[in-house]
Amino acid sequence: MKAQLNVHKAQLNVSEEPVASRQDERSPLERIRFLELIMDNIYNGIVVTDADGYIIYFNKPYGQFLGVDPALQIGRHITAVIENTRMHIVAKTGIAEINEPHSINGQTMVVQRIPIKENGKVVATFGQVMFKHVSDVGKLARELDLLQSKLKLYEEELLSLRAERYTFDSILGTNPVITGLKKEALRAAETSFPVLLTGESGTGKEMFAQAIHNASSRRLHPFIRINCASIPKELFESELFGYEKGAFTGASSTGKHGKLELGRKGTVFLDEIGDLPLEMQPKILRVLEEKELERIGGATPIKLDFRLIAASNQPLEEMVSGGRFRKDLFYRLNVIRLNIPPLRERRDDIITIARNLLQRMAEELPFRETKINPDAEALFLDYDWPGNVRELINVLSRVSCQLEQEIIMPYDLPLSMRGGGRVSQGSGGTSLDTAIDAAGKDAIIRALKSAGGNKTAAAASLGIHRTQLYKKMKKYGL
């Protein structure tokens, strides 16, 4: 086998000796001429003097600039060739002068003067014109300023392209509780401490999380949302930590970045953290404390730098007492706590939020902005909104799609709102028959409105005969 290998090497002319670097075969004089050629092709002027200030090199661009023959300047003292020069002074002080102004023939240039030292002693001085006119510096500064402006513009465009980007201006309301929360959240944005957002479902916890991220120094980096309630238990570790190629059967051949890793330099938002599996909680705690993780199947720790924001609509303290949530993780998360109130506790903001949502819908959808009738507003204020802002959005979206005019009337609202959101103590509520009748009446009113009063068309849209429609209209007093 070894003999065959040697034959192949011989055929391919492969040498086992290391390849030597190419040697410069020029003579010392030819090397000097080559270096002079390089210096003469440099755009700006260059001059070199000895330690006493006598010129030993003068390149062609400098001669052209000053209107002198470079060859005739060799051996002359620098002060006899270049006015206001300090080359000889630098040779004495041994201190470099970088980007200094230098006036020649009434023209201010920018130059550098560098002492050349050997064994700690100045043996020469190198001078170079950096800018032939000081205005060139201003031009460069303006170009840099333009680049900075473009960079800022691109950063702003990057922010505007991020999906579902919320800021503190997106959080509406003048209720003292909500305005106080916004101030606390804004202060939290100035730090990198963990934030725990609590409150009922639909109160806007993710909106607060994004607002904190976008007000922080991390706003140009990713905002990674992880919904702990939507990830299957057996996939949690691979989703959050990622894995190396071949880590397990079915793993991608290229491996996978975990979501925590994707949030580097940005913010990781762990939504519904109360649903985080118990066996994953110590692993998350370790990441938070050590700022590093290991992918599944990996052996090298990966350094992390992200800001954690967690949210829960479950009572985490009770879960800790019941052994369903680790106490040490809870304390690690519960550094800055923001409890977002339900909509029913800030009724003075309901109409403001509803009007703003309708305005946004009008901008996004092809119809004019919708108003709310005062009687309908009263129903909005009286309703308890168990789904909070999310339910409000849902109601307005459904109603707006079905309206024939640009105003929401009481009869346009769902039955649950027209019946009153708050049931008095001792009330038995609404019977099933009553609820069915109300729903039937509501459906007929909508069908007649959609059909412009045409009963045949209304009956067809309801899927009933016209005679049956008449009977029901009589029953409901329509």
User: Which pLDDT tens digit goes with each residue over 248-271?
Assistant: 666 666 678 888 988 888 999 999
1 falls in which pLDDT band (50, 70, 90)? Answer: very low
Residues 440 and 305 in one domain: no
Q: What angle do CA 268, 338, 276 make, to 5 degrees?
A: 45
Distance CA 46, CA 128 (A): 5
Q: Which of 129-143, 252-266, 346-360, 423-437 has the highest mean pLDDT?
A: 346-360
Tell whether 17 is covered by a domain: no
Please check the confidence at residue 35 and state whether its pLDDT lies above 60. yes
Number of structural domains the chain divides into? 3
CATH number of the domain bearing residue 238: 3.40.50.300
Give the model's pLDDT for residue 339.
96
Calculate the CA 111 to chain-centre distance.
43
Tell whether 12 is covered by a domain: no
User: Which pLDDT tens digit goes with each residue over 157-169?
Assistant: 555 555 447 889 9
247 vs 76, higher pLDDT = 76
The one-letter code for the residue type at 329 is L
How far does the chain reach from its first CA to its final CA, in angstroms? Answer: 102
Residues 201 and 333 in one domain: yes
Residues 456 and 379 in one domain: yes
Q: Which of helix, strand or coil describes residue 352?
A: helix
Residues 362 and 334 in one domain: no
Structure tokens at 369: 């902005």
Tell whether 19 is covered by a domain: no
Residues 81 and 118 in one domain: yes
Domain that holds residue 56: 28-135
Q: Would you state the torsion angle of the CA atoms of residues 390, 392, 393, 398, taken in this order, to the nearest 10 degrees?
A: 130
Residues 323 and 218 in one domain: yes
Residues 326 and 193 in one domain: yes
Nearest to 415, CA basis, from 401, 436, 387, 390 = 436
Round the average pLDDT of the chain to a whole number and report it: 82
CATH number of the domain bearing residue 416: 1.10.8.60
Residues 376 and 450 in one domain: yes
230 vs 364, higher pLDDT = 230
Please check the confidence at residue 433 and state whether its pLDDT lies above 50. no
Structure tokens at 195: 């934030």
The one-letter code for the residue type at 439 is A
User: Which pLDDT tens digit goes with each residue over 280-322?
Assistant: 999 999 999 998 988 888 878 888 899 999 999 999 999 999 9
Give the model's pLDDT for residue 367.
59
Tell whether 9 is covered by a domain: no
CATH number of the domain bearing residue 56: 3.30.450.20
- Average pLDDT value for residue range 116-137: 81
User: Which pLDDT tens digit goes with each residue over 178-225?
Assistant: 999 999 999 999 999 999 999 999 999 999 999 999 999 998 888 989
Domain boundary among 308, 339, 370: 339
3-state class percentages of the chain: helix first, strand second, coil last, to nearest 5: 50, 15, 35
Residues 258 and 391 in one domain: no
Please check the confidence at residue 89 and state whether its pLDDT lies above 60. yes
Q: What are the CA-CA distances from residue 278 to residues 224, 293, 316, 371 (Å)?
A: 22, 18, 13, 48
- Average pLDDT value for residue range 53-67: 90
55-58 vs 46-50, strand pairing mode: antiparallel
